[in-house]
Amino acid sequence: MVLPTVLVAMLASILTGSAGRSEDRAAPDAESGDGVMIVTTDTTAYCRTLSTAIAAYRTLPREVIDLKAQGDGLCHKGQVQGGIARLRRALLVLEEKAPRARP
């Protein structure tokens, strides 16, 4: 499966433990120290990207289901920052419960 560049950057930030920190917000031409471009935007499109990343997991714990529902709801109401925060937290919970092997 080929992942969109924004999704890859977002997942990289989660895997490196840097998701959600304000210093990770970068201009589109900025790069992190490891050469991965990290671009985050407070838009409904980014909400959908995060929500899609969560939905890609096979099983979701109750906490993740609740956070995703809250995040999706807030994004739908136009409260994008709050929605993104909950969706990011859901991804972090997933990563803590089912860490992926790193190459």
Domain boundaries, the chain: 5-97
| 10-residue mean pLDDT series, the chain (103 residues) | 50 52 40 62 91 92 96 96 96 82 47
Q: Is 99 helix (H, G, I), strand (E, B) or coil?
A: coil
Q: Which residue type does 88 have? A: R
Query: pLDDT at position 22, please?
Result: 40
CA distance 98 to 65: 15
CA distance 22 to 26: 9
- DSSP class of residue 24 equals G
Model-level pTM? 0.60
